Structure 1
Amino acid sequence: MSLQITPSSDIRSARPLISLLAGRLTQSASPRLDASWLLGLSLGRDIAVQGHEDICLDVDACARLGALMARRMKGEPVSRLRGKREFWSHDFYLNEATLDPRADTECLVAAACAFAALKPQGARPAQILDLGTGSGCILLSLLLEQPDAKGVGTDIAALAIAQARANAAMLGVALRAAFHQTSWCDPIAGVFMPGLFDIITSNPPYIGSQALLSADVADYDPHHALFAGADGLDDYRTLLPRLPALMHRHARAFIEIGSTQKDAVSALAIESGLTVCGIELDFSGRDRCLILTHE
């Protein structure tokens, strides 16, 4: 059943239209918020329209709204419709090769920032390595919090690297961020020098290959950034053994995990010569980030 929205030159309250749109977004966890965003986008505004606002929908706006509603009703997230996602209070542009940043990952950034704040006065500027950087949201958020730090981000996807570079330029940190297309930390001359990095971060794929995901994830996030073998641990098996050689003395690695994977990933870390020195919980109180050292 199609949604009929009639163009009008009259100014009308947004609230009834938001209610109408929300009533059609039955699979959304936040239908009114989604409807507010779609209405704003249809009006050419990258902002959610508030219910108390007065709006005027012409023919073109109605056409845009209908197209946006059709895409959202098929499961496409609002962030994909906007082409960007807010993370750590900054907007990060996305493309088909980048994972849509999750709020849960902000706990990793918070933990890394807390560690960086412990740096003794006069210590060298932090060197940060972000493995599987995607949009660059983790690395660039850390660079924005640490004005003297420098960072390297890697990703297997060329499109992701291009997007991360564009985001770095937009956020004004391009001179302190270098991005390289490679699988995790495969050798690149002059980049992965032994003992170079003070902070290593990664949000690797950690979903089992047989897991059933909602359409807004399965159909719109790149599968190479989601799935990691039958048990969801394949990328940890590749990644963790390579960290000790890259870590400066007293360095820390902040590795995102699935909420039920603490014991399994901790065991792999210990086998790799690392020590688990902390666990960070996400905003829902679930295990989300392992903190590792190699001393």
Structure 2
Amino acid sequence: MAEDDSPASAPDLGTVLAEARRRLKAGGGGEAALDARLIVEHFSKTQRIDALRDPALSLDAQTVGHIEEAVRLRLAGMPVHRILGYREFYGLRLGLSPETLEPRPDTETLVEAVLPDLAGIAARKGACSILDLGTGTGAVALALLSALPQARARGVDLSAGAVRTATDNADRLGLDGRFTAIVSDWYGDVTGVYDAIVSNPPYITSREMGDLPVEVAGHDPHLALDGGADGLDAYRVIAAGAGTHLERDGIVGVEIGSRQKTDVIAAFAAHGLRLRSAARDLAGHDRALVFGF
């Protein structure tokens, strides 16, 4: 009998997904099923329904290779969204780069905290100007622009790479006509006054930096994490410059660490800014503060 020299059948979607899930679970990943699905869908250009409706869908060798490499990177500690190169935030798909913090759902708390005040300003003035300090991917500014058609925003970041990433994100989202970004050390090269100053600044203490998990410390830029000896350096700078760059009826909104509320309020009070509102994240932690003169 002649040997069967027919080519081996191509790997199918269901099998590849199950194997990715198995490897990630064996590696101790708490989100193994979700991470496997995100990786496989991204590189195979499929959707969740495809694995349910057509698990026998054949995948070519190049696609399988990309998936296997992505799983290897995930097992080595790279966050899944770093592997994919993007993160969803407030309904927007934002590209990531090594110079940007990966936006987290907690930061959506800041967006929601400032939106009512900004909507009121836009209604009164017919426009609203926003300064986003430490813009990173542009997450906060672009989310606000997507919700407020009357608004314009300027992003500021010390990293030129972050400024490029934020600008690219604005372009892809069709918001480039209302968003600009500059390289600046906080207010250093900023001109003009704004209706709102927003920021998700670095607020981890320098001592705590050494205790961060590898997924954060090894992939998020330390420039966007280290808030100095007490974690409050950035808040002092933001509060000190508000008098020069904030309209008198404007607001300042900042994200904070879960145990920093009292200290951040004091830092802003030292410059004449009073607390207008505070918001907690979905876990019930203090996460965003809004100030005004």
TM-score by length of 2: 0.89
Distance 1:60 1:121, change over 3 A: closer
Q: Structure 1 residue 226 and structure 2 residue 222: aligned?
A: no
Distance 1:288 1:56, change over 3 A: same
The aligned residue for residue 78 of structure 1 is 80
State the distance in 1 between where 2:257 and 2:204 align.
Answer: 8
The aligned residue for residue 150 of structure 2 is 148
Q: Structure 1 residue 117 and structure 2 residue 119: aligned?
A: yes
Q: Structure 1 residue 205 and structure 2 residue 206: aligned?
A: no
**Structure 1 stretches of 5 or more lacking a match?**
1-6
The aligned residue for residue 3 of structure 1 is none
Deviation at 1:216, TM superposition (A): 0.9
Please list the CA deviations of residues 22-75 of structure 1 after superposition, one character each: whole Å capped at 9, or x if unmatched: 42341x3311000112222342x2756765241324432332222111100111
Q: How many residues align?
A: 281
Partners of 2:122 and 2:151 within 8 A in 1: no
The aligned residue for residue 13 of structure 1 is 14
Percent identity between the two aligned chains:
33
Mean CA deviation greater in 197-206 or 236-245: 236-245
State the distance in 2 between where 1:285 and 1:140 align.
Answer: 25
**What do you get for the CA RMSD once the two structures are aligned?**
2.0
Partners of 2:24 and 2:71 within 8 A in 1: no
Distance 1:163 1:121, change over 3 A: closer
Partners of 1:8 and 1:57 within 8 A in 2: no
State the distance in 2 between where 1:121 and 1:164 align.
Answer: 27
Q: The residue matched to 2:153 in structure 1 has which SS?
A: strand
Q: The residue matched to 1:169 in structure 2 has which SS?
A: helix
Please list the CA deviations of residues 112-151 of structure 1 after superposition, one character each: whole Å capped at 9, or x if unmatched: 2121222374524001110000010110111111112111
Residues 180-259 of structure 1 aligned to structure 2 (within 5 Å): 180-188=182-190, 192-193=191-192, 196-211=193-208, 212-259=211-258
Distance 1:19 1:134, change over 3 A: closer
State the distance in 1 between where 2:50 and 2:27 align.
Answer: 17
The aligned residue for residue 34 of structure 1 is 35
Distance 1:174 1:259, change over 3 A: same
Q: Structure 1 residue 61 and structure 2 residue 60: aligned?
A: no
Distance 1:223 1:49, change over 3 A: farther
Distance 1:240 1:200, change over 3 A: same
Q: The residue matched to 1:95 in structure 2 has which SS?
A: coil
One-letter amino acid of the counterpart of residue 232, structure 2? L
Please list the CA deviations of residues 194-236 of structure 1 after superposition, one character each: whole Å capped at 9, or x if unmatched: xx21111000000011211111111000000001112211222
Partners of 2:13 and 2:51 within 8 A in 1: no
Q: Structure 1 residue 169 and structure 2 residue 171: aligned?
A: yes
* Higher fraction of helix: 2
The aligned residue for residue 285 of structure 1 is 284
State the distance in 1 between where 2:49 and 2:136 align.
Answer: 30
Mean CA deviation greater in 17-26 or 171-180: 17-26
State the distance in 1 between where 2:163 and 2:286 align.
Answer: 29
State the distance in 1 between where 2:33 and 2:270 align.
Answer: 48
One-letter amino acid of the counterpart of residue 37, structure 1? L
Partners of 1:93 and 1:167 within 8 A in 2: yes
State the distance in 1 between where 2:205 and 2:124 align.
Answer: 45
Partners of 1:111 and 1:280 within 8 A in 2: yes
State the distance in 2 between where 1:184 and 1:48 align.
Answer: 42
Q: The residue matched to 2:180 in structure 1 has which SS?
A: strand
Partners of 1:126 and 1:198 within 8 A in 2: yes
TM-score by length of 1: 0.89
